[in-house]
Structure 1
């Protein structure tokens, strides 16, 4: 029986890519650098803002002060965090049906931004614990955030699921010894997700997996 479900945020619960793209492009264009399309940004997100900025600069083959761009991004993003972001279909209804199971969010986003996103979109109420990249010494794909969260809820790996849209979630889950559920509607191609224990095309498919386990 599943006692704990750990969710990724971006690309799993929420489509936030447009807001991330807007924030990134705002900061690049301030430095007179051309921006990226939403589809290009989708391929770069998932490892936190620091890596996003580094990947963006690598893609443009330019050298700019990374810390200044990070600060610009965080400031702009805080002010426009859910201008365009949307909760994926069936998320609210499915989380409501999972009310008797403990639920956590582990994101590579900063904790403040993770909480603010959930709160703004009416999702915070469903979760017993929310952690961003700054709450643990390591971030996904490290298994440590998952292991520490399992300890927090005094449960075990065989009673835990992780649900995410990227290879980072799958790797972290596998290394932590928990079963992994990949969603195909997020930011990664299905082929990248093939190592997951379960692959679902819509969020409500999670209910069947939980019942069967």
Structure 2
């Protein structure tokens, strides 16, 4: 029986939110657009780039300015963040991923980045070889919170939803997991805080990557046997 753990990328495996804020600000400066404050930009992390820029600018996603922002974002991110990516990996990630693989879990990434820049970031961070599958927003009809990315991962790995768990730092990850019929671990060290994550009803809540690994190795609770959300014990 195959079991898998699917991870979000930004804010879950790699601490990129600060770099993302800096990149957004640099893009706005290049286009002579009004800058947005850090909380506003951070509030869009987890959305696809077109949706994020459209929300900040207050325009539809198909506006030309959004397309231009997205085009500038990727080379700007490469210049600002990729050179330091290995320093941004959250504590416990390398050891935690290795532990899961050694215990027979298949590992995957489902991100709202496009797959090429996701692969670039994982490679720069020294993480790409840990994952059997990487699914980006450009490979599915709709990005998270739509379940399409999770379902594509399951299809590629040959794993059923009952044997899969999603680990992420935003409600988009938790909603995707629910839509795909899998359990979820919400990590509180990323973009969304504990209260916001709890509102989405994750199976487990974890305050560190090590705690997330402990939860991911557990079987999902039987329906009605206990509350949907529980905190992982300290390892």
TM-score by length of 2: 0.83
Is it true that 1:33 corresponds to 2:37 in the alignment?
Answer: no
Q: Give 1:196's match in structure 2, choosing from 180, 202, 208.
A: 202
Residue equivalent to 2:129: 125
Q: Give 1:206's match in structure 2, choosing from 207, 212, 219.
A: 212
Residue equivalent to 2:67: 67
Contact 2:11 2:189 in 1 (8 A): yes
SS of structure 2 residue aligned to 1:134: helix
Residue equivalent to 2:142: 138
Query: How big is each residue's C-alpha offset from its partner over 1:143-191, in whole Å with a ceiling of 9 and x where there is no partner?
Result: 1111121121112111100000111111111111100110000000111
- Which moves more between the two structures, 50-59 or 13-22? 50-59
Contact 2:83 2:124 in 1 (8 A): no
Residue equivalent to 1:3: 3
Change (3 A) 1:121 1:83: same
RMSD: 2.0
- Which moves more between the two structures, 23-32 or 7-16? 23-32
Unmatched segments (≥5 aa) in structure 1: none
SS of structure 2 residue aligned to 1:75: helix
Is it true that 1:107 corresponds to 2:111 in the alignment?
Answer: yes
Contact 1:17 1:38 in 2 (8 A): no
SS of structure 2 residue aligned to 1:87: coil
Q: Give 1:181's match in structure 2, choosing from 169, 173, 185.
A: 185
Residue equivalent to 2:174: 170
CA distance in 2, matches of 1:64, 1:125: 37
Change (3 A) 1:76 1:212: closer
**How many residues are treated as equivalent by the alignment?**
210
Shift of 1:2: 6.9
- Which moves more between the two structures, 174-183 or 76-85? 76-85
Query: How big is each residue's C-alpha offset from its partner over 1:95-116, in whole Å with a ceiling of 9 and x where there is no partner?
Result: 1111121000010011111010
Residue equivalent to 1:79: 79
Q: Give 1:157's match in structure 2, choosing from 158, 161, 167.
A: 161
- Which moves more between the two structures, 105-114 or 32-41? 32-41
TM-score by length of 1: 0.91
Shift of 1:4: 0.6
Unmatched segments (≥5 aa) in structure 2: 220-235
